[in-house]
Amino acid sequence: MNEAEALPLVVSDIREVLGRGVEIVVVDDGSTDATAQVAENLETVLVRHPTNRGKGAAMASGVEAAGGDLIIFMDADATYPAGALPQLIEMLGDHDLVRGERPLDSEAIPPINRLGNRVFNRLIGGFHQIPGRDIMSGLYGMHRRVFEQLDLESTGFDIEVEIGIRARQLGLDVGLFPIDYLPRVGEKKLSPVRDGLNILMRAAGIAILYSPVVTFIIPGLVIMALGVIGSVALSAGPVFIGEVGLSINSFVLATLGVLGGFQLVVFGVAATLYRVESGVPPQNWVLALARRPVRLGAAGLGILLAIVGAIRIVGLVAGWISDGAGEFLATDRLVLDAALFVFGLQLMSAGLFVSMFSGRLAARRG
């Protein structure tokens, strides 16, 4: 978008390095300057978006217009060196995807962008175990089949994050090599705050979809375990750790932790089932949950626990009323019975929810 000033330099550098026979596709993403006219004068393959649709959308249009098997993406602002292209192409002979990594302390990168890149690389790259130190690089290449396999959804500057996460999830062979980074020519398009927040939100959304076990199920199980331990320890009365006394308030918190942890587990299972609906093959543990004895057993146990909890609550209230409805002293029992009732409802709902997908899971397995 609006790269009329930098485009001639980028195209001439590419042709000088790779020769005039290379196919160069320029996607004009709703420019208001002379970008389209410059691209035509340079005899490139021109694709025009009437309005700005975002970097990810421009990349998809570019791949659709391209005729080759090896696809290289390169920002049109003259920041990435064309001299790195031969090595990138050579490495694509041994890798599914190759990414050029910038020096993160380069003075050509604005200070706030340098800070953002470091945060993204540590936070997103570390969580999703994406190889390399520059997941936001704008110079990378892949085979056409790989681009199709990635099945990308991002339309904006968050596209690089999705590519990194999807490549990791699919187990693609990613090659990395260092490149220089040059001062940009023309107007800066990326907004550190707006686009940074979009990238973080996109990373969180992808984590929910592609890593529900790590994001929800494991933390949920940990919280549940801690809640159960706390509830059991406090069920017999106050517990003192040095000068700190844990009593009924701590007991309530521990019990709520069990319910909250299980809710995270259920949400993780729901996200996993959504993955299956999106075409991802189900894992063995998902198929095990979908087995009739497991899902109906969970629903049946949930109904039983809810009934027991409800009966005990009614008994407590009835006893309190029969004693004159004075000060209520059985708070710990009420909390435990209410938690039993709610947990039963959650377990019943989870079993029925998995049953809704059992047919599709069986078809996927078949």
Residue 38 confidence (pLDDT): 96
Tell me which residue range forms the domain holding 131: 7-208
Distance CA(245)–CA(325), nearest Å, equals 29
Predicted TM-score (pTM) of this structure: 0.62
Residue 207 confidence (pLDDT): 65
Q: What's the pLDDT band for 109 if we cut at 50, 70, 90?
A: confident
Give the whole-number percent of the chain exceeding pLDDT 90: 50
Residue 20, CA atoms < 13 Å, CB-side half-sphere: 2
**69 shares a domain with 26:** yes
Residue 206 confidence (pLDDT): 65
Domain membership flag for residue 15: yes
Last residue of a domain, one of 186, 208, 230: 208
Q: What confidence tens digit (pLDDT) does each residue in 37-84 have?
A: 999 999 999 999 999 999 999 999 999 999 999 999 999 999 999 999
**196 shares a domain with 115:** yes
Distance CA(26)–CA(28), nearest Å, equals 6
Domain membership flag for residue 218: yes
Average pLDDT over residues 346-365: 81
Give the domain CATH number at 117. Answer: 3.90.550.10
Domain membership flag for residue 187: yes
Number of structural domains (the chain) is: 2
Domain membership flag for residue 332: yes
**265 shares a domain with 186:** no
Alpha carbon separation from 176 to 29, 84, 140 (Å, rounded): 28, 12, 9
Domain membership flag for residue 2: no
Distance CA(225)–CA(262), nearest Å, equals 10
Distance CA(55)–CA(202), nearest Å, equals 14
Residue 362 confidence (pLDDT): 65
Last residue of a domain, one of 208, 228, 260: 208
**227 shares a domain with 202:** no
Identify the CA nearest to 186 among candidates 34, 23, 362, 357.
34
**161 shares a domain with 21:** yes
Strand, helix or coil for residue 67: coil
Domain membership flag for residue 203: yes
Last residue of a domain, one of 165, 189, 208: 208
**245 shares a domain with 360:** yes
* Residue pair 122/57 in contact by the 8 Å Cβ criterion: no
Q: What confidence tens digit (pLDDT) does each residue in 126-144 have?
A: 666 788 888 889 999 999 9
Q: Does the structure show a pLDDT above 80 at 240? A: no
Distance CA(350)–CA(308), nearest Å, equals 18
**308 shares a domain with 195:** no
Average pLDDT over residues 311-323: 92
Domain membership flag for residue 42: yes
Domain membership flag for residue 1: no
Burial class (CB in 10 A: 0-12, 13-18, 19+), 115: middle
**219 shares a domain with 193:** no
**59 shares a domain with 151:** yes
* 70-74/244-246 β-pairing: unpaired
Q: What confidence tens digit (pLDDT) does each residue in 277-307 have?
A: 766 677 888 888 888 899 999 999 999 999 9
Quick one: which H or E segment has residue 61?
A: helix 55-65
**143 shares a domain with 235:** no
**199 shares a domain with 88:** yes
**173 shares a domain with 70:** yes
